[in-house]
Amino acid sequence: MRLLPRTEAGRRSAGAALAGFCTFLNVYTPQAILPALAATFGVPLASTGLTITATLLAVACVAPFVGTISDRLGRKRLIVGACALLVLPTLAVAASRSLDALIAWRFAQGLLFPFIFAVTVAYIGDECDGPDTIRTSGHYAIGAIFGGFSGRFVAGIAAGMGGWRFAFVVLAAVTLLGAAAVAWLLPRERRFRPMQGGLGAALRTYGDHLTNPRLLATCGIGFGMLFCVVAVFTFVNFYLAAPPFNLGPGALAFVFSVYLLGMTTTSLASRVAIRIGRRRTLFGACALSAAGLTVTLVPTVATVVVGLGGICGGLFVVQSLSLSFIGVTVRRAKSTAVGLYVTVYYIGGALGGIVPAALWRMAGWPGVVALVAAMLVVMSAAAARYWRETPSGGRAA
């Protein structure tokens, strides 16, 4: 059986997917073991949430600068190096003797994540053209989705077998194997040209990006995507834990399996986008998410789970389309543009866990649904205005 993909494009897609997997395997891992962390360190459950917040804060702080480094030093060696270095803070998390130390090492993990995913997206934009850009971005998104699910799943299973420390050791081992696979599969970049001119040139690229309305609209769409995901999957736990559902923690954890539907829809949507364009595919994805939101208002567990599947199935498609569009709308300093996107994206996620709280208190789940639906409308409007075909007639939308 042939283990290595037959074509360079196949190797590129596989390597990009594994890079996404390695990153998101580690981002949200503690969500599966927060009660165990609280018991070990003798702290309130709410305090353990800082193990997630610290990581996202580190990502948001570092992402704007990763592009400048990558645009000077290259792509593959940064991706592979960051994947390999990620093993060290992951093992340090396992050895932490206090919650403060664990949070500090989680922050260190977050400093490395943008060097994997932001640079991978820039690599795709450099090395791929036309339909191959959409296809490879779709494979990257599938790897990221599966990594996000696997991190929670592996951590939960491994913690049940040998405790939460053992869970992080297992994740470190998987990450190391992933880094080796990325080094083996991902072709070295061929089209990369180092940026010249030092800090002044780097600052000018930010000026270019901040005056590019198509890029800014794409950043806004990414903001809305993660805002919606975090809002839905934060407050749906409260919704399902209350009457008439009364689900316990184990059943609530199982609800995250709907993430896997995003792998199927993203793969399908990549092929659809090649045929009809990104913009119309995004409209369909937002419509699917809106339909899923509506279904969750029917008060049975089955309908809520089906609705959540529709929400995931649509929103993860939006993420894939947005990432691939950056390569179309930005011609130089692409990893800097991705860094800007990532910063705005994670700000959206942070606000998604905070802003809906007032509506939850006033109107419950229907209030959260209304807010998320409004965000979907804004995202669609941004795409309608700015994801149009390129002036040369090539399909960008």
Reported as a single tens digit per residue, the pLDDT across 279-322 is 999 999 999 999 999 999 999 999 999 999 999 889 988 888 88
- pTM score, whole prediction: 0.73
Q: How many CA atoms lie within 13 A of 176 on its CB side?
A: 11
Map out the domains of the chain as residue ranges. Answer: 1-187, 204-388
Q: What is the mean pLDDT of residues 188-193?
A: 72
Distance CA 387, CA 384 (A): 6
Least confident of 60-74, 155-169, 274-288, 293-307: 60-74
Better pLDDT: 397 or 189: 189
Average of per-residue pLDDT values in the chain? 84
State which CATH number among 2.40.240.10, 1.20.1250.20, 1.10.287.110, 2.20.70.10 fits the domain covering 204-388: 1.20.1250.20
What does residue 334 show for φ and ψ, rounded to 5 degrees? Answer: -65, -35
> pLDDT-based confidence at 139, cuts 50/70/90?
confident
* pLDDT given for residue 171 in this prediction: 95
**Contact at 8 Å (CB) between 160 and 64?**
no
What does residue 6 show for φ and ψ, rounded to 5 degrees? Answer: -70, -30
Assess if CATH 2.60.40.10 describes domain 1-187: no
Q: What is the mean pLDDT of residues 230-240?
A: 81
* pLDDT given for residue 389 in this prediction: 59
In the numeric block, which tokens belong to residue 283?
């409209």
> pLDDT-based confidence at 159, cuts 50/70/90?
confident
Distance CA 229, CA 40 (A): 30
Closest CA to 124 of 16, 215, 24, 218: 16
In the numeric block, which tokens belong to residue 79?
């991706």
> pLDDT-based confidence at 390, cuts 50/70/90?
low
Better pLDDT: 31 or 299: 299
* pLDDT given for residue 197 in this prediction: 56
**Contact at 8 Å (CB) between 279 and 388?**
yes
Q: Please check the confidence at residue 228 and state whether its pLDDT lies above 90.
A: yes
Q: Is 347 exposed, middle or buried (0-12, 13-18, 19+ CB in 10 A)?
A: middle
Centre a 10 Å sphere on the Cβ of residue 353 and count the other Cβ atoms it contains: 18
Q: Please check the confidence at residue 86 and state whether its pLDDT lies above 80.
A: yes
* pLDDT given for residue 18 in this prediction: 93
Least confident of 44-53, 116-125, 208-217, 239-248: 44-53
Q: What is the mean pLDDT of residues 338-365?
A: 84
* pLDDT given for residue 394 in this prediction: 42
If you search the block for the tokens 């390999």, which residue do you land on? 84
Better pLDDT: 388 or 14: 14
Which of 54-68, 219-233, 244-258, 363-377 has the highest mean predicted lDDT (pLDDT)? 363-377
* pLDDT given for residue 391 in this prediction: 46
Q: What is the mean pLDDT of residues 200-219?
A: 80
State what percent of residues in the chain have pLDDT above 70: 89
Distance CA 82, CA 62 (A): 13
Q: Please check the confidence at residue 103 and state whether its pLDDT lies above 60.
A: yes
Backbone dihedral region for residue 226 (phi beyond 0: left; psi -120 to 50: alpha; all else: beta): alpha
DSSP state of 190: S
Give the helix/strand (H/E) hosting 59. helix 50-73
**Contact at 8 Å (CB) between 31 and 154?**
no
* pLDDT given for residue 7 in this prediction: 83
Q: Please check the confidence at residue 384 and state whether its pLDDT lies above 80.
A: yes
Least confident of 4-18, 157-171, 214-228: 4-18
In the numeric block, which tokens belong to residue 12?
């590129």
DSSP state of 255: G
Report the Cα 275 to chain-centroid distance in Å: 25
If you search the block for the tokens 């297992």, which residue do you land on? 170
Q: Please check the confidence at residue 393 and state whether its pLDDT lies above 50.
A: no
> pLDDT-based confidence at 249, cuts 50/70/90?
low
Distance CA 116, CA 118 (A): 6
* pLDDT given for residue 396 in this prediction: 47
**Contact at 8 Å (CB) between 186 and 76?**
yes
Least confident of 71-80, 125-134, 245-254, 268-277: 245-254
Q: What is the mean pLDDT of residues 16-40?
A: 85
- Asked if domains 1-187 and 204-388 share a fold, the reply is yes
Better pLDDT: 377 or 261: 377
